[in-house]
Amino acid sequence: MLNATGIHTYYGNAQVLHGIDFHVAEGETVALMGRNGMGKSTLLKSMLGIVAPRRGKVRVNGVDVTGHETSSIIRRGLSYVPEGRGMFHNLSVREHLLMAARPGIDGRRDWTFDRVLETFPRLAERLDNLGTHLSGGEQQMLSIGRALMTNPRLLILDEATEGLAPLIRRDIWHTIRAIKATGIASIIVDKNVNVLLDFADRGVILVKGEVVCDGPAKAIKQDKSTLSTHIGI
Amino acid sequence: MDIWMALIQMLNGIQYGLLLFLVASGLTLIFGIMGIINLAHGAFYMLGAYLAWWLAGITGSLGAAVLLSLPLAAGIGYAIEVLLVRALYKRDHLDQVLLTYGLILIFNEAQRVFWGNDVHGVAAPAMLDWSIKLTDTLSYPVYRLALSGVCGVLAVAMYLVISKTRFGMWVRAGASNRDMVAALGIDVKLLFGLVFAVGAALAGLAGAISTPISSVAPGMGDNVLILCFVVVVIGGVGSVKGAFLGAMLIGLADTFGKVFVPDFASFTVYGVMAAVLLWKPKGLFS
Ligand SMILES: Nc1ncnc2c1ncn2[C@@H]1O[C@H](COP(=O)(O)OP(=O)(O)OP(=O)(O)O)[C@@H](O)[C@H]1O
Ligand SMILES: [Mg+2]
């Protein structure tokens, strides 16, 4: 579904990614892990064209999209929930959802306004509030709900549970699992590695902009030494 | 000043405010959403006026001329966005000011080359070329009322598009966080190009429909541009609602200033701006 090879990314003169190979198969859930500042978010942004990699190739469903506009890469069936949630301060909850609505690349509209509200009932109570007036957890739900409105084949979540109260975090995990069960592929970056590895199919660990580990999630979860060396748990 | 005089000035002020709004709404959107300081915005007002005068001469109908000048202004606006302005989104304001100032010079020179430096007037369409009698000595031209009506309808339409449609949501979202809009798969470049084109078309329309009430002359865009920046600053950068209130305020202040304090007439709008900014330093809606 998504396939990146040899990604080198710089911020100015500082090299952040040193030739990363990364892929996600149709329907697969990949846990992207690593300590702070190792380049997880940069890898996501490089693949989506938000940051331009200096070298490397990105393919979506076999089509070379290297150097394409972010919006046109996204429209190939990807959806992105960024760190910091990306709320619009001047749009209501309802508008956040409606503005993003779009059928999937296969023409299907599995995710509608009503279905998103069923999935996140708390949003239904706050439809006329501005996005930035919601609590952190509600903003996160809105950001995920908005991403689902585009009927993606691949959902990319960067730190979706960061800074949330445990109960809300549990809700979000529950939803993410439910989304996985519908067959949508996902890339999930999250600090809660144990929860993540419980249901992810595959795990990838980044250290200083390089992939040091790429394998089945179950195997990584057992491998305490890898986890403690590279992630610190 | 008797009540009829006051009414006439009031109507004039409203009409002037509505006309300013047509120009200023585009300016505020382009500044607020795309972050571009477009000094050339007034040039579209001039372009609209010259196109209307020129096409009215060819077609014999101001109505047809106005309708023809709309797509022309929009098309030229879109072309300028794609060819020139697009390269400036990531640059600082000085570069934008340099480029768009250069555009003013080009527009003004083009006007001189194509149409000369004479001052022209255009007659209102016969259907609207009459006045409503108010008293024995006072009457009010119907064309001005029609002009206010057209501007008012457009203001309402703009409000509906921006607040109710998905296009409007994208535009507002773009003003808040354009990278996130792109990350949702919305073509921000196209969106910005369209906003620029619509802004140019509205400014051009304002110039075109104002030809029967003010002369078509070189430099006519510059005065409007300055007033529109005042409007944008008063209203709060990026706010169409603010631009509307600001435009009404400036239209009325300018009109009544000329009546009550003719010696300071050119100062009244800046007095209003200073007063508003003392009260709300970032404008009415920001
Ligand atoms: N816009 C930027 N300009 C310059 N350097 C940046 C920028 N964004 C990130 N960096 C640097 O690039 C490196 C990788 O950052 P990145 O955000 O990709 O890491 P991360 O793995 O997502 O970390 P975190 O867990 O903190 O989110 C860090 O050293 C960071 O300081
Ligand atoms: Mg990150």
Question: Residue A101, Cβ neighbours under 10 Å: how many?
Answer: 17
Largest CA distance in chain B: 65
Measured CA to CA, the distance from residue A214 to residue A197 in angstroms comes to 13
Q: Which residue of A has its CA nearest to B170?
A: A99
Spatial separation of the C-alpha atoms in residues B75 and B136, rounded to whole Å: 47
Backbone angles phi, psi at B249, to 5 degrees: -60, -45
Please give the average per-residue pLDDT across A89-109, as a whole number: 94
Q: Is A231 in the pocket of ligand 1 (CB under 6 A)?
A: no
Domains and CATH numbers, chain A: 2-84+152-230 (3.40.50.300)
pLDDT at A99: 97
Of the candidates B175, B177, B185, the beta carbon closest to that of A71 is on B185
- What share of chain A in percent tops pLDDT 70? 100
Atom of ligand 1 nearest to the CA of A11: 4
Min distance B125 CA to chain A CA atoms (Å): 42
Pairing of strands A63-64, A55-60: antiparallel
pLDDT of residue A42: 97
- Tell me the residue ranges of DSSP E strands in chain B: 131-133, 139-141
Band (pLDDT 50/70/90 cuts) for residue A98 is very high
Taking CA atoms, what residue in B is nearest to A86? Answer: B180
Q: Which residue in B182, B166, B184 sits closest to A144, CA to CA?
A: B184
Residue B279: CB atoms within 10 A of its CB come to 8
CB contact under 8 Å between B166 and A99, yes or no, is yes
Average pLDDT along chain B, 286 residues, taken 10 residues at a time: 88 96 94 88 97 95 95 97 90 90 95 94 90 88 95 94 94 90 94 94 97 94 94 92 95 92 88 94 88
* DSSP per-residue string spanning B48-105: HHHHHHHHHHHHS-HHHHHHHHHHHHHHHHHHHHHHTGGGGTTS-HHHHHHHHHHHHH
User: Cα of A37 to ligand 1 centre, how many Å?
Assistant: 5
* Residue in B179, B185, B187 nearest the CB of A102: B185
Rounded average pLDDT over A160-176: 90
Number of helices (H) and strands (E) in chain B: give both, helices first.
11, 2
B237 touches chain A (CB under 8 A): no
pLDDT at B176: 86
Angle between helices A136-148 and A166-181 (to 10 degrees): 10
Length of chain B: 286
Under 8 Å CB-to-CB from B220, ≥6 apart: which residues?
A: B45, B46, B49, B207, B214
Instruction: Verify whether ligand 1 is closer than 6 Å to residue A145 (CB atom).
Output: no
The answer to whether B35 and B192 have CB atoms below 8 angstroms apart is no
Mutate to test the pocket of ligand 1, among A41, A161, A211 (most ligand atoms within 8 A of CB): A41
pLDDT of residue B238: 85
d(CA A164, CA A161) in angstroms, rounded, equals 6
Neighbours of A176 (CB within 10 A): 23
Mutate to test the pocket of ligand 1, among A38, A190, A204 (most ligand atoms within 8 A of CB): A38
Q: Is B200 exposed, middle or buried (0-12, 13-18, 19+ CB in 10 A)?
A: buried
Round the CA-based radius of gyration of chain A to a whole number and report it: 17
Check A86 against B183: CB less than 8 A apart: yes
CA distances from A231 to A192, A221, A223, B24 (A): 11, 12, 12, 54
Chain B residue closest to A98 (CA)? B166
Smallest CA-to-CA distance from B30 within B145, B154, B200, B181 is with B200
What pLDDT does B165 receive?
Answer: 96
Q: Say which residue the tokens 């739900």 belong to.
A: A141
- Chain B residue with the nearest C-alpha to that of A51: B179
Q: Which residues contact A75 (CB under 8 A, 6 or more apart)?
A: A105, B185
Residue at token pair 């000048």:
B69
What confidence score (pLDDT) does residue B92 get? Answer: 87
Quote the CA–CA distance of A121 and A25 in Å, as a whole number: 31
Token readout for B207 is: 């110039």
Would an 8 Å CB–CB cutoff place A142 in contact with chain B?
no
Distance in Å, CA A39 to ligand 1 centroid: 6
Closest Cα to residue B24, out of B201, B229, B209? B229
- Cβ of residue A133 closer than 8 Å to a chain B Cβ: no
Q: Does B33 touch chain A (CB under 8 A)?
A: no
Q: What are the angstrom distances between the C-alpha of B106 and each of A77, A158, B43, B141, B228?
A: 44, 48, 10, 36, 21
A130-140: per-residue pLDDT in tens? 988 999 999 99
Q: Tell the residue nearest (CA) to atom 23 of ligand 1.
A: A37
Closest CA to B202 of B228, B176, B177, B237: B228
Residue type, B276: V
- CB–CB of B187 and A99 under 8 A? no
Q: How many CB atoms lie within 10 A of CB B260?
A: 12
> Looking at beta carbons, which residues of chain B come within 8 Å of A60?
none
Rg, C-alpha atoms of chain B: 19
B25 class by beta-carbon count within 10 Å (0-12 exposed, 13-18 middle, 19+ buried): buried
**How far away is chain B from the Cα of A110, in angstroms, using its nearest Cα?**
17
Q: What is the predicted ipTM?
A: 0.92
The pTM assigned to this predicted structure is 0.89
A48 Cβ under 8 Å from any chain B Cβ: yes
Contact of B173 with chain A, judged by CB distance below 8 Å, is answered with: yes
Q: Which atom of ligand 1 is nearest to the CA of A191?
A: 25
Helix, strand and coil content of chain A, in percent to the nearest 5, comes to 35, 25, 35
Spans of all domains in chain B:
27-218, 219-286
Closest residue in chain B to residue A81, using alpha carbons only = B183
Q: Which comes out higher in pLDDT, residue B265 or A101?
A: A101
Q: Is A225 on the interface with B (CB under 8 A)?
A: no
